[in-house]
């Protein structure tokens, strides 16, 4: 049986410039020694890593304005399979500053809700896909709580009966996904604490590795990360397993969670590994990404 098709959805695309300095200080004008441009967004990173593993995917995103056109051109030039739904607003941009005596710093433009027409186009696209695919919804979804997103919420709800649904998101979208029987949520520990506390901010005893997590949310499996610390896995059986990432000298953690998710998708649904083994497969790749300045650009582990 052929592996299921992979789709990623990036709700908050980014046109990103990286400026590298020999040295820099706040409050002064300084000239960069180098500059690169790239498309950011968690789903794009996941699709990029899937491609490096030899697994094709279709990256879905919302793109608008000149920055959105730059993103589409960048993706096209690099051979991405993607669908960009035209947005009412220009795609946000950002700047990453590296070098000197300061830690890597990222400046992001304001979030850009895509608008009703773009959301409807995305929902229609999903409805037209064959059953059996794996859809990963990645990153923030600006405008999620507005009526503009009603068609997409409906399409995602129906997807639960048609294929696999995975989420790695935040805030209001995370709460929505956590209330449904997703196949997997990948989440970091601080986001999980906020989800469990709920709007009232109360400690419910629901946390990574607790029986309350499974009883409160219908999600089938969870992968809970905490930077270089142990990853906690809650599998279908209810077992809780901890795995340590390989130790590395961190250069940039940017995108390491996305690399982890891509390798989880690869291991779980292309190679057919049980969840714990899929996490064990993914961890060396995520660690290698953290030891490299790029995102999914590192030499592949043997």
Q: What is the pLDDT of residues 212-222, one digit of tens each?
A: 788 889 999 99
N- to C-terminal Cα separation, the chain? 27
Higher pLDDT, 30 or 125: 125
Q: C-alpha angle with apex 69: 66 to 70, nearest 5 degrees?
A: 90
> Quick one: pLDDT at residue 203?
53
- Tell me the HSE value of 251 on the side-chain side, using a 13 A CA sphere: 14
Residue with tokens 């990029």: 48
Query: From the CB of residue 87, how many other CB atoms can be counted at a distance below 10 Å?
Result: 22
Q: How confident is the model at residue 198 (pLDDT cuts 50, 70, 90)?
A: low
Is residue 283's pLDDT more than 90?
A: yes
Give the confidence band of 254 by pLDDT, cuts at 50, 70, 90. Answer: confident
Locate the domains of the chain by residue range: 6-22+33-290
Long-range contacts of 30-33 (CB under 8 A, 24+ apart): 33/99
Helices and strands in the chain: count of H runs, count of E runs: 9, 13
Answer with the residue of higher pLDDT: 276 or 193: 276
34-40: strand order across its sheet: 34-40, 14-21, 92-99, 105-108
Distances (CA, A) of 41 to 80, 97, 169, 268: 14, 17, 11, 22
Between 146 and 294, name the one with better pLDDT.
146
Please name the fold of domain 6-22+33-290: 3.40.1190
Q: What is the pTM of this model?
A: 0.92
Looking at per-residue pLDDT, the higher value among 23 and 210 belongs to 23
SS3 230: coil
Mean pLDDT confidence for 96-105? 85
pLDDT at 197: 81
At 35-77, the pLDDT tens digits run 999 999 999 999 999 999 999 999 999 999 999 999 999 999 9
Mean per-residue pLDDT over the chain, rounded? 92
Q: pLDDT tens across 119-177, in order?
A: 999 999 999 999 999 999 999 999 999 999 999 999 999 999 999 999 999 999 999 99
């Amino acid at each position: 049986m052929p592996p299921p098709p992979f789709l990623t959805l990036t709700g908050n695309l980014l046109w990103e410039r990286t400026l590298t300095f020999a040295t820099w200080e706040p409050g002064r004008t300084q000239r960069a020694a180098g500059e690169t441009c790239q498309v950011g967004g968690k789903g794009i990173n996941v699709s990029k890593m899937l491609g490096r593993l030899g697994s094709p995917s279709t990256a879905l995103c919302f793109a608008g304005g000149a920055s959105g056109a730059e993103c589409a051109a960048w993706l096209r030039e690099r051979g991405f399979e993607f669908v960009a739904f035209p947005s009412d607003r220009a795609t946000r941009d950002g700047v990453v500053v590296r070098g000197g005596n300061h830690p890597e710093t990222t400046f992001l433009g304001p979030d850009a809700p895509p608008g009703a027409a773009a959301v409807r186009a995305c929902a229609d696209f999903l409805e037209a896909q064959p059953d059996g695919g794996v859809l990963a919804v990645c990153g923030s979804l600006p405008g999620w709580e507005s009526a503009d997103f009603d068609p997409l919420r409906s399409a995602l709800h129906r997807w639960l009966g048609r294929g696999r649904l995975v989420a790695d998101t935040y805030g209001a979208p995370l709460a929505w996904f956590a209330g449904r029987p997703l196949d997997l949520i990948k989440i970091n520990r601080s986001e999980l604490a906020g989800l469990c506390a709920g709007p009232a901010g109360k400690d419910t005893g629901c946390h990574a590795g607790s029986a309350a997590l499974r009883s409160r949310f219908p999600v089938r499996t969870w992968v809970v990360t905490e930077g270089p610390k142990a990853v906690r896995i809650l599998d279908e059986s209810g077992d809780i397993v901890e795995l340590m990432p390989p130790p590395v000298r961190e250069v940039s953690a940017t995108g390491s969670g996305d690399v982890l998710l891509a390798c989880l998708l690869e291991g779980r649904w292309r190679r057919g590994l049980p969840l714990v083994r899929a996490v064990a497969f993914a961890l060396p790749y995520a660690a290698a990404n953290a030891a490299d300045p790029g995102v999914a650009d590192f030499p592949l582990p043997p």
